[in-house]
Structure 1
């Protein structure tokens, strides 16, 4: 792929459409844990939206455009179980876009956030979710609130994607596929052959 449009079509292409049988229910994790910076609404991460009440969104019927059109990965991936809903799993999974990434694996990626007080590491939910999410040519990063760690692609593959060194034969096809997909975001780096 040579072009990755930055819009809802990209989310649908990488994650699938919003599943009509899934709704947020009582989950309001995105209303607190995400940074929102859109033309019609802004709030910092870790701070509850001013419209969030004990009963949910106080302005749900007239909420900002970003709130009506953004969906976590659980709302799009049928292979994630009901227990993976952010308020149940303690993990908020989203597709992230970075305008000026440090490298091509930080331009468009799946971000798995461990929510405060979550037991997802201890009870195995984080491992189960990562196993399901690390299945395509989309980088997956995990954040525990202190550090951000690349989980997919594997370290040896990532090293070759980001460097000018040729990949060993057993990794060559995988590295080439990643480089081709993300070359748009790493245009200044010459590609090894």
Structure 2
């Protein structure tokens, strides 16, 4: 019997057996959690987070048992890209009311406070590892959010609805087909 694959596994790949969270708890502070079972705002440490990690790890909420950052799923990401080491948290992001069609579902690369990932080149390496498919990629440094993929010429045509030049027509059409469902 075949089981349905979740969207994160389809887009990012399965959880890699050779990568573990270890001491990393970035998601426990950085992300918003809003489920019936558990909620916390972004940028706020989970109430169960202790110096030793998750204080309720054995009985943690389902969202905490089933969610994994992209470093745990994307084999092409550098080993050093684990969030606590790289200063970057990469995840699949869903926006309920997107400002444009490329925000509805995307990969978000977040620079964590104090991160030097831009200066040391890790941000570029991580972006190279996730900007290779038909999934928008945004980079956020905490102050601004910038679209990194698709490139600006393709994004401009996708968002404006203007006809694309011949060399971009197929790519623009593919993005419009996949993300048109998020158009306002």
Partner of 2:32: 35
Partner of 1:62: 59
Q: Work out which of the residue numbers 166, 170, 173 in structure 2 matches 1:173.
A: 170
Partner of 2:22: 25
**1:18: how far off?**
0.9
Q: Secondary structure at the match of 2:102?
A: helix
Q: Quote the RMSD (CA, aligned, Å).
A: 1.2
Q: Secondary structure at the match of 1:99?
A: coil
- Where does structure 1 differ by over 3 angstroms across 4 or more consecutive aligned residues? none
**1:100: how far off?**
1.5
1:41-52 equivalences under 5 Å are 41-52=38-49
Q: Secondary structure at the match of 1:105?
A: coil
In 2, Cα distance between equivalents of 1:164 and 1:147: 25
In 1, Cα distance between equivalents of 2:111 and 2:75: 21
What's the TM-score, normalizing by structure 2?
A: 0.95
1:24-173 equivalences under 5 Å are 24-173=21-170
Aligned residues, how many?
A: 181
**1:109: how far off?**
0.2
Q: Secondary structure at the match of 1:150?
A: strand
In 1, Cα distance between equivalents of 2:78 and 2:161: 40
In 2, Cα distance between equivalents of 1:70 and 1:161: 30
What's the TM-score, normalizing by structure 1?
A: 0.91
Partner of 1:185: 182
Q: Secondary structure at the match of 1:24?
A: coil
**1:170: how far off?**
1.0
Uncovered stretches (5+) of structure 1, i.e. residues with no partner: 1-6, 189-193
Partner of 1:191: none
